[in-house]
Chains A and B, each alone.
Chain A
């Protein structure tokens, strides 16, 4: 580190309507350092970096790059200034090749593309940093870990000296994380300056030189990593002591409420995504399914809820017969509660009022109908009751769900599903994108369901979440269960399973086909 400030932001404000996402933010980045940007979801980390990258324009304040005050209006401005960003949600065009994606929008590529020569250029940088990406592969066929490397290559080939990595480890296995940070350190040593956005404290402690903590849009402080500790950072980040530590009492389990046998399901691309998975969930336990995103968990969840056709195998719920052809309605009436992975797309009808969303799935029930007509009073009372019980912050029962914050949207779904009193609760990524208060609330409800003798199936890519809540942990890799362990298995053991080491016989049978 030379101590030279490559970025200096002073008094930066960014508003969305009346909401202040960044308030009087000061931030600086030194040449050759890895600078952690820590904060909860919604603390304003991504907003601040999007300002720096030109996707948003700030409303007030000064931004200096290499000592020069700059006015970044669009990503092309920031790219010219040597700033590159690797987004949390990859900005890659699935249909194009690695090389095409890398040179997309780059004027250096010229009007008529000489693909061979461009692939050569990609290969050179590839070799320099040991990335091992094939320049002519089509993006959608690549695993996420490789896709992320393509994103980094994209930034490097644009001659960026300042790299912003937004939650880069969210979709990686523990060993891929390791590998990523080896590269990051290498880059820093060669004079690149790196901002690492994350909410994972262990990453901050292990890989950064300095860390800035954001809370509700404001910078709480910037400290040298070597002079701080996890407890201090947590308090800075959250503003109070919270515990997301495991706090679950041992309890006896009951009857098998959900049984899946030899399930085979195809993905959207019409290739097998779940390849012969079997498991049981009993009353009073939480089975956690861990795994890196894209290993078939989502398809498994959709098959269980009846949203995706089952090619082979059966599902039996609440003592029912073994079924292959199931519809969402069958499962709901058989006693399945479902918290879907994407609350805005699957969980809610955003333009509908809260009260209408709260009866989704029960709209035909006698409770909410009076003869031919809907029972307005019953629906209103029901909504008012759940809003109070679940502490849904809103203007009233008619407020469109689309106007609610993410946490409150998730509470609406949770309220609806829990209120139906299902025997089996399937929760897929139930806390993704929520702030810590909402996370506590949602996890609390899942624990409560377990304590009440429900069978809970939790599918999550958040390993901490799985380890905090589950009784048993199954790890999914490439469409099959690579193993099942107890909740107290070591991180290393789970990490190996997530990376597909220790394949079971099932998997071998599949690959032999």
Chain B
């Protein structure tokens, strides 16, 4: 009974936060002189009008799902990976290179290779902040944020330099080989297998976290690195591995966005999927299964943003306000009344 109540409370928090966020956003729209009912109506319609629009929502959900799991996994291990955006960009870049280089490979080889390259690139990019945190105690918050900017400039360089498709006005890469395109699940919609893959990964990560000794170690390090170290867990290695897995997930997110949706690399390939992931993860209480649902909410918002803009002239950046409000409210709700002190790993003598 008690357990059921606790569970119920767990579900209530995110719903209340979502409702509060809706109310605040509504008010902001009204105050800034927009037609709020029309805007939100357009948002709803964009998601549920027909199968095609629903497919678009799931299409937008897919990369968010990956970055969301990535961030949730890292947060569980007490690694604040704010760098999912950069890892996603690097994953997309690697996928572009593979997809435009090995063009003669058949789909069943090229697609896995594209996903793998995304994972490797994302993991490699996440490795540096992870290593610096574990071995030198450098806060991953600042380094991952800086790495986002570096990644963005790097993509800018690629699409203007080595990857540039000279037949296009805007800086962008050549499209990848058609055999590398992710197949659509429902014809006539933009829903590709990346979405299904995301759900599979959410389940796998959830199993790893809660049903294996490695997950036990990640969570122990996340809650109390000092006690984990005392208990014989290789804390530094666990932190780095956590970051590698998180980066790989975000990198795959970039690869599926590229191979499933845009098919070529451009600077604006991510409208901030890596930052949205923070809201997604927090809303889901860093639970990978919960991320599936919260990613869907943000996928809906992301898909609806364009419609809102068309119908009510509301800037697409409006979604950011919603995300910000959600993060702030959930972070208040997440504070435990029991004083679980945050404990840090104090190193000495070396």
Contact = CB atoms under 8 A, between A and B. Distances in A.
A363 B216 contact: yes
A449 B239 CA distance: 36
Interface centre among B220, B340, B349 (most CB of A within 10 A): B349
B212 A372 contact: yes
Interface string B220-256: 1001101111111110000000000000000000000
B203 to A, nearest CB: 14
A368 B216 CA distance: 12
Interface string A324-360: 0001110011000010100011111111100010011
Contacts of A356: 216, 220
Size range of the chain A interface in the assembly: 35 or more
A227 interface: no
A299 B350 CA distance: 12
B226 A346 contact: yes
Contact of B231 (A266, A351, A361): A361
Nearest to B221: A349
A268 B347 CA distance: 7
Given A307-B230, A346-B227, A351-B340, A373 B346 contact: no
B230 A402 contact: no
Contacts of A347: 227, 230
B141 interface: no
Contact of A345 (B216, B227, B232, B338): B227
B212 A332 contact: no
Interface centre among A273, A346, A359, A361 (most CB of B within 10 A): A346
Size range of the chain B interface in the assembly: 20 to 34
Contact of A373 (B212, B219, B233): B212
A154 interface: no
Interface centre among B216, B224, B227, B338 (most CB of A within 10 A): B227
B7 interface: no
A364 B216 CA distance: 10
A402 B349 contact: no
B267 interface: no
A97 interface: no
B213 interface: yes
Contact of A349 (B224, B348, B350): B224
A270 B349 contact: yes
Contacts of A266: 348-350
Contacts of B224: 345, 348-350
Contacts of B9: none
B343 interface: yes
A57 interface: no
B212 A374 contact: yes
B257 to A, nearest CB: 30
A193 interface: no
B20 to A, nearest CB: 26
Interface in A368-417: 368-369, 372-374, 400, 402-403
Interface centre among B212, B233, B340, B348 (most CB of A within 10 A): B348
Contacts of B346: 268
A429 to B, nearest CB: 14
A-B pairs, top 7 by smallest CB distance, nearest first, are: A360-B231, A266-B349, A329-B232, A268-B348, A309-B350, A361-B231, A346-B230
Given A348-B224, A351-B223, 9 more contacts: A268-B346, A309-B349, A327-B232, A332-B231, A346-B226, A347-B227, A349-B223, A349-B228, A352-B219
Interface of A: 265-268, 270, 273, 299, 302, 305, 307-309, 311, 327-329, 332-333, 338, 340, 344-352, 356, 359-361, 363-364, 368-369, 372-374, 400, 402-403
10 contacts: A266-B348, A309-B350, A327-B232, A333-B232, A338-B230, A344-B341, A347-B227, A350-B223, A350-B224, A351-B223
